[in-house]
Chains A and B, each alone.
Chain A
Amino acid sequence: MTALERVQRRRQAVEDVQTLFVEHLMLDVEPQDLDPDAPLFGSGHALDSIDAVELVVALENRFGVRLQESRVLSIPHLRTVNTVVDLVIAETQEAA
């Protein structure tokens, strides 16, 4: 994969994750307005443990990855849109 392809792939993944967050977690923003570096849990978008479960299941279905059995999944991975994208890319590469 070239550097350009990697950048494009990441950009697409960010868009997908933004859309998934807004749809599944009922965030009141347009997907593109969801700051990829804003904290999602606690004070940020005030997501909680129930949302975390929903998020993991939705990511598995959208990206065809198995996060619940993942060796790398931990709470810091769900901190922001960008950390979620890191996780998804790592897991899809692991699967491939």
Chain B
Amino acid sequence: MSIPVARIGICTPLGRDLEAFWTRIAAGDDGFIEVDRFALPGLPTRWASAFDGPTTAKLCAEAGHDDPAVAFAILAARDAVAELSAEQRAATALICATSAGAADTHDAYDRARRGKSDLDPELLAGGAFTSFASVIADALGLGGARTTVSTACASGGHALGLAIDLMRSGDAERVLVVGADAVHASLFAGFHSAGALAPRPCSPFGEGFGMSLGEGAGALLLGACEDPVASLLGWSGSCDAYHATAPDPRGEGMARAFRSALVDAQLTPDAVGAFNAHGTGTEANDPAETHAIRAVFGDRIPVSASKSQLGHTQGAAGVLEAIVATLALRHQHLPPTLRSTPARRVAPADPVAGGRARPARYDAVMSHSAAFGGTNVAVIIGRSPRAREPEPKSPVFLAGVGAVGPFEGSVGSALDPAHRPSPSGSPLRVRRADPVTKLLTQAVAHATADADVPRHGAHDGVAMVIGMADGPQDSMRRFVDSRDQRGLGQASAAAFARMVFNAPAGAAAAALGLRGANLTLWSGHGAGAQAVLCGARLLQHHGDVQQVVCAAADEIGYITADRDQLGRLPATPLAAGGALVLSRTPSDVQLKGAAWGPPTQLDAVIAKAIGGLEPDRTVVSSDGAVPATLPGQTQYILDAALGYAPAASGVLASTAAIEWIRAGVSGRVLAVSIAEESGVTALLWASPTLGDDDDRT
């Protein structure tokens, strides 16, 4: 099933009007300026595709939010939903894509912690800090489910992919995908330390290595409409499982994502007439990507690197570049790669040089993004919808489970002491990692061992969907300390690489050789439960995905401590990790139903997940009040019993359910996550021997 693109909104330094934006892209304009919003002492370049200070202030005023990334997102999203009625908005789901989220808000918090101003509790309470999507949803009156994808520079592509799968499953009829990021001093500092910044606007595939930053937002409204702009035909992801920041130099992981996306779209390579590259300009990316493109498409395909015009807009890149690709497809042109001549030794045969767009006839384009953590994602966009053979939705079974925390490996017995679990396998020693990465990797190692995934070797068919709340706090603190103590020009590159929200997922994948799609959701409390639902969809819609690891973890870091001190935590903080492995192979536990929605729709979401199959137990994780009217004879409140682990709790609730069903103490268990910001997710686990023929997954 292809997904119609109904309407597009943008907020970029090359304009906010879509047609004017395309005219400037086609003419070979770029958005590069020497950034004037903040000082960059000790850094050799100020170039980025960015808004100047006065324009940024105007945009923030217009959006009604003083964080630039949030403001860009609101303005792009506002245009994309302009034609929807209030009722339609109330039923629209939202998937945001961002790498740093509300970076200025985070920076204000860090400054306040150093005592240079008062620590405003609202800085931590505001959704901008942990649930970017809920801020955007509230600003626009979007009343559907909401989540935020944060896979660094690949976030945008993953958000589009996730939207495709959720719409195929009927989890949402209309989804708004919004990618947004703003430039900020730490971003310059981090990429400078990593040795990646170009001194002048970048030249992908051309002479001189290095990337240039960019900012802005793009929004695509997906769903049935009378005259679609284009159609999303398919997508896929992969993970190099190779290195924290550098891609596999042979481009092998990227090529796997391209091939798998072609399979998903039911297209041959010849049917794709243009390629929008990740094309950052760096020595690490461009040659690897060139090898991958050549391996899959040969030398015939024209390759455009839009970062030569928009800069590297981080989490927004996958969305903005998909928009450029869509506009080019509609206008039957190929967008240019500026400064791509003279060409490097390893470069695509046709980088669309010449400084302006070139006419071409083609029906489909692939847009590719890659990121820290070795994660790659490819999305295929078509001029017209494509009838796709409807595949029977396969049931989802549990293949393995693992948990790490102060409950001796068994969440089920911590909640119900009468339950005695079987001992779990040997722990994995995780070296050189921050606390959340250790917890996540160990939980995933337990779960994959339980699912009989060999601990060594490469597993192309095993994907990961990870939930994060406050993320790698220890690495964030190390980075901020290095920046403040040593200066902007000497910030820690190692901490920068580890503090992106998908770094733990990338490290876990590399430790265990899990090379399938690799997504991280950054949605605060409830992220773990959302990861399970999204992981089930990935499994159901991608035949080449054999197993999906759904996991989440939380460390107790400086943000946790501040929240605790401000009385913002519903229970004692808990450092923990939880992981499940989902599979199509029948086992002793089945995911019978899965549904999600906004915070206001608890009853409807539960009713959809259980579909009349009354559970005998319910496990709840909640960041607020727990309603009295939950189904099941017995209810367990996870946070009260174990402690507060905002992301992991959504997985641990399912862990308890699975343990009880495996032990035969319960036939059907409902795991519910209730979060004020990210909303409600309900998962019904059951023993397949109960013989329910109805399946709601």
Contacts and interface: CB of A to CB of B under 8 A. Distances in A.
A50 B490 contact: no
B485 A61 contact: yes
B494 A28 contact: no
Interface string A56-88: 010011000000000000000000000000000
A51 interface: yes
A53 interface: yes
A1 interface: no
A54 B432 contact: no
A4 interface: no
A28 B431 CA distance: 6
Given A54-B492, A57-B486, A61-B485, A28 B193 contact: no
B432 A50 contact: no
A24 B494 contact: yes
Contacts of B357: none
A57 B434 contact: no
Contacts of B43: none
Contacts of B493: 50, 53-54
A46 to B, nearest CB: 7
A37 interface: no
Nearest to B432: A26
B569 to A, nearest CB: 27
Q: Which of B193, B244, B494 has the most CB of A within 10 A?
A: B494
B434 A26 contact: yes
A53 B193 contact: yes
**Range class of the B interface residue count:** 10 to 19
A28 B435 CA distance: 12
B492 A46 contact: no
B547 interface: no
A25 interface: yes
B300 interface: no
A25 B475 CA distance: 11
A60 B490 CA distance: 10
Contacts of A27: 431-432
Given A26-B434, A50-B493, 20 more contacts: A24-B492, A24-B494, A26-B432, A27-B432, A45-B431, A46-B431, A46-B432, A50-B244, A50-B245, A51-B494, A53-B195, A53-B493, A53-B494, A54-B193, A54-B492, A54-B494, A54-B495, A57-B490, A61-B485, A61-B486
Interface of A: 24-28, 45-46, 48, 50-51, 53-54, 57, 60-61
24 contacts: A24-B492, A24-B494, A25-B432, A27-B432, A28-B432, A45-B431, A45-B432, A46-B431, A46-B432, A48-B243, A50-B494, A50-B497, A51-B494, A53-B195, A53-B493, A53-B494, A54-B193, A54-B492, A54-B493, A54-B495, A57-B193, A57-B482, A60-B490, A61-B490
Nearest first, the 10 closest Cβ-Cβ pairs linking A and B are A54-B494, A53-B493, A26-B432, A57-B490, A50-B493, A50-B494, A54-B492, A28-B431, A61-B486, A51-B494
